[in-house]
Amino acid sequence: MNLVSYEYVACQESKKGVLILSEFAGAAQSLGAGAILVNPWNVTEVASSIGYALNMPADEREKRHHHNFKHVISHTAQEWAATFVSELNVTIVEAQLRTRQIPPPLPIEVAVDRYSCSNNRLLILGFNATLTEPVDTLGRKDSQINEWEPKLRPDLREPLRKLCDDPKTTVLVLSGSARNVLDDNFSDYNLWLAAENGMFLRVTTGDWMTTMPENLSMEWVDSVKNVFEYFTDRTPRSQFEVRETSLIWNYKYSDVEFGRLQARDLLQHLWTGPISNASLDVVQGRRSVEVRSVAVTKGAAIDRILGEIVHNKGMKEPIDYVLCIGHFLTKDEDIYTFFEPELPSEVPASVRPQVPTQVRTSIVGSRAALLMKQNSMSAVEQNKSYSIDGDTLHSMVTDRISLQEGSSVLDLQANDYFSCSVARKRSNSRYRLQSSDEVVTLLRELADHR
């Protein structure tokens, strides 16, 4: 684009010069409202416009110039680049969602059969939209929200209790929800709770511990909070939640179309403002926007979580069955690949490449893998403790588990590992379930085949 017209407007702040601009120029789309547009091939029109500009009243000159000057100083090259990058980020996310694979339905009979044949099982369960009612089925009356906090489905209480009481089964609820939400729903069960994407952990008979990385900076919280507060005020029935490792703006109870427009506007505010130079991830849910540090994912936390579970239970026998079910966001689907360094052979070749049937995984793995993980060493691994909101979070010490113990924690064959997404058409998991109703069916089957 020819920027001479922009330069002229910028230089006329004191004189308030009038801009005469060709209607064929690219700048006519942005400066046309304050300029006099002409057809440069029409000599009479050009001459008339020059005469009008020379005799224009002072107030009109100032008004026209002010309009264009405001546009020039606000639409800078930096602003254009930031907007372009934000639009590109949105396009990338949308493209990733379109190209992700559609996993086949979970073969429930096979999953139950392998469960019955195993001796040391690990069940990793998500919470929202997995063990709760779907958002769209929550009762509403006169557009009023009956419940804000997610609640465990009543028909899951009995099968979940049976699974938790089975000595051969370890149940872990891994959620992005805050600690108090998981406490309110699962305190009466004998299981493990991992809150805020695995950054906080406890067995229900013990205290909360932190798996938070030592170098995790939260200096960005206030600036992002201001953006979330602004969009909460202008979006009816939306809310934002400040957690200890992330901030979430949720518009699931707002008007769908208006909420999406507001979310897109919010993303542009974030990418061009408080998070432009920060090591943060913006995680887009179906009707939510979450900002968190790059080190906060469920997959990154599961390594340390498994270590603590093994030590606490004194496991001597390797885990030979893993079932991982959840309505996880794209960012958190790295938990599926943690247990699956190689792809299963039983999946059709048109979907995934063929690999050997035997898949063996370990928490610590090889020395090379151990070195790769040193960049994300947490307070747990450094034997540190934190005090957050006045509650001292007990540290976990990973040197409790020797290298040999860590290597023997998992011993999985491909047909003994089931990763399953819930209510997601496209996912990196092996299988899928249509809704939380099918989760109820599956857990009941497992509970009856202990």
16-26 tens-digit pLDDT? 899 999 988 88
* For range 326-354, the mean pLDDT: 63
pLDDT given for residue 341 in this prediction = 55
256-280 tens-digit pLDDT? 889 889 999 998 888 877 777 677 8
pLDDT given for residue 80 in this prediction = 79
Q: Which CATH architecture has domain 3-98?
A: 3-Layer(aba) Sandwich (3.40)
Q: Which CATH architecture has domain 106-135+148-211+296-339+412-448?
A: 3-Layer(aba) Sandwich (3.40)
Bridge partners of residue 239, in order along the sequence: 250
Residue 104 and residue 98 in contact, taking contact as beta carbons nearer than 8 Å: no
Using the Cα atoms of residue 281, residue 181, residue 321 and residue 419 in order, give the sign of their dihedral. negative
Residue 27 and residue 2 in contact, taking contact as beta carbons nearer than 8 Å: yes
Strand order in the sheet with 209-210: 209-210, 200-203, 192-195, 169-174, 121-125, 321-326, 417-422, 431-433
CATH 3.40.50.1000, the chain: domain bounds? 106-135+148-211+296-339+412-448
Bridge partners of residue 420, in order along the sequence: 325, 431
CATH 3.30.70.1020, the chain: domain bounds? 219-293
Using the Cα atoms of residue 169, residue 170, residue 175 and residue 179 in order, give the sign of their dihedral. positive
Query: Phi/psi zone of residue 390: left (φ > 0), alpha (ψ -120 to 50 degrees), beta?
Result: left
182-220 tens-digit pLDDT? 999 999 999 999 998 888 999 998 999 887 766 677 788
Q: Do strands 321-326 and 121-125 pair parallel, antiparallel, or not at all (unpaired)?
A: parallel
pLDDT band at residue 171, thresholds of 50, 70 and 90?
Answer: very high
Tell me which of 3.20.20.10, 3.40.50.2300, 2.40.50.140, 3.30.70.1020 is the CATH number of domain 219-293.
3.30.70.1020
pLDDT at 406 over 50: no
* For range 393-406, the mean pLDDT: 36
The pTM is what?
0.62
CATH 3.40.50.2000, the chain: domain bounds? 3-98
